[in-house]
């Protein structure tokens, strides 16, 4: 079971983790992109932190939708609409809930990833954030069917996301700015897959607390 309070702390932890990894993400992005991923994500989640107190009394769906709208209007780049859509869709999927079962949590993440798919139209192994999310969702669904507890389910998902993130290193990018580098994009970890992993890991750490 995940409470509303935990969802709020997840967002706070995500903001803190993205701030701590701002330079790391930007460095990854300067290798194959345009050196702004860390700065953009940090700016976006700082705005989310400003907005959070105003929606704290709302349900989880509303909190996530507000997070999405805030990211859409503050991040820019490709990650703004992608992460923005992720949170908007995840909020809509569990509308009006004050707490979430493990299945709800899966529904939330799955709807968010569907949003990323519709907006960005990535395929697996295009070297994008989807390469972290797709294996994470698959692993999570498998773990749920075996009856594991929330922490174990998320641990399984995070491990798969981490592996998916690392698997982007040898891939040649086929989406986004990195795709223009052709073979030169090989050998670098995708910044979007990395921030997605960090976000999911922040959820696990929140639930573990």
Partner 1 sequence: MKKLINDVDNVVREQLEGMALAHPDAIKVNYDPYFVVRADAPVEGKVAIISGGGSGHEPMHGGFVGMGMLDGACPGEVFTSPTPDQMYECAKAVDSGAGVLFLVKNYTGDVLNFETAAELAYADGIKVQSILVDDDAAVKDSLYTAGRRGVGATVIVEKIVGAAAEAGYNLGQCADLARKVNMYGRSIGIALTSCTVPAAGKPTFDLGDGEFEFGIGIHGEPGRQRLPMKSVDEITAMMAAAVLDDEAYSRTVREWDNEEGTWFDKELTDEPFKSGDSVIAFVNSMGGTPVSELYAVYRKLAAECEARGVKIARNLIGPYITSLEMQGCSITLVKTDDEILKFWDAPVNTLGLRWGA
Query: 73 by DSSP, 3-state: which?
Result: coil
Distance CA 23, CA 37 (A): 9
Nearest to partner 1 of 121, 208 (CB atom): 121
Contacts of 145 (CB under 8 A, 6+ apart): none
Q: Note the Cα 201 to chain centre separation in Å.
A: 9
Q: Nearest approach, Cβ of 127 to partner 1 (angstroms)?
A: 11
Give which of 162, 167, 142 is closest to 152, Cα–Cα: 142
Distance CA 174, CA 171 (A): 9
Sign of torsion, CA 103 55 111 116?
negative
Binding residues vs partner 1 (CB under 8 A):
26, 30, 33-36, 39-40, 43, 72-82, 84, 119-120, 172, 174-177, 179-182, 184
Nearest to partner 1 of 75, 160 (CB atom): 75
Q: Nearest approach, Cβ of 189 to partner 1 (angstroms)?
A: 17
Distance CA 31, CA 188 (A): 7
Nearest to partner 1 of 7, 75 (CB atom): 75
Nearest to partner 1 of 88, 93 (CB atom): 88
Q: Nearest approach, Cβ of 61 to partner 1 (angstroms)?
A: 20
Nearest to partner 1 of 77, 135 (CB atom): 77
Contacts of 180 (CB under 8 A, 6+ apart): none
Q: Nearest approach, Cβ of 205 to partner 1 (angstroms)?
A: 27
Nearest to partner 1 of 162, 190 (CB atom): 190
Q: Nearest approach, Cβ of 16 to partner 1 (angstroms)?
A: 19
Q: Nearest approach, Cβ of 178 to partner 1 (angstroms)?
A: 9
Distance CA 7, CA 108 (A): 11
């Amino acid at each position: 079971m995940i409470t509303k309070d935990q969802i709020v702390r997840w967002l706070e932890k995500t903001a803190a983790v993205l701030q701590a990894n701002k330079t790391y993400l930007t460095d990854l992005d300067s290798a194959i992109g345009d050196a702004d991923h860390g700065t953009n994500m940090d700016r976006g989640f700082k705005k989310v932190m400003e907005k959070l107190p105003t929606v704290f009394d709302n349900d989880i769906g509303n909190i996530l939708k507000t997070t999405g709208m805030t990211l859409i209007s503050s991040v820019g780049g490709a990650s703004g609409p992608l992460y923005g859509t992720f949170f908007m869709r995840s909020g809509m999927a569990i509308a009006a809930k004050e707490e979430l079962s493990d299945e709800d949590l899966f529904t939330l993440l799955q709807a968010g990833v569907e949003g990323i798919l519709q907006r960005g139209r990535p395929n697996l192994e295009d070297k994008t954030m989807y390469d972290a999310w797709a294996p994470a969702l698959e692993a999570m669904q498998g773990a749920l069917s075996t009856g594991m507890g929330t922490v174990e389910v998320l641990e399984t998902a995070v491990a798969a996301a981490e592996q998916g993130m690392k698997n982007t290193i040898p891939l040649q990018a086929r989406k986004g700015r990195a795709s223009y580098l052709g073979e030169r994009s090989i050998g670098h970890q995708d910044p979007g897959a990395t921030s997605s992993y960090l976000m999911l890991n922040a959820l696990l750490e929140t639930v573990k607390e």
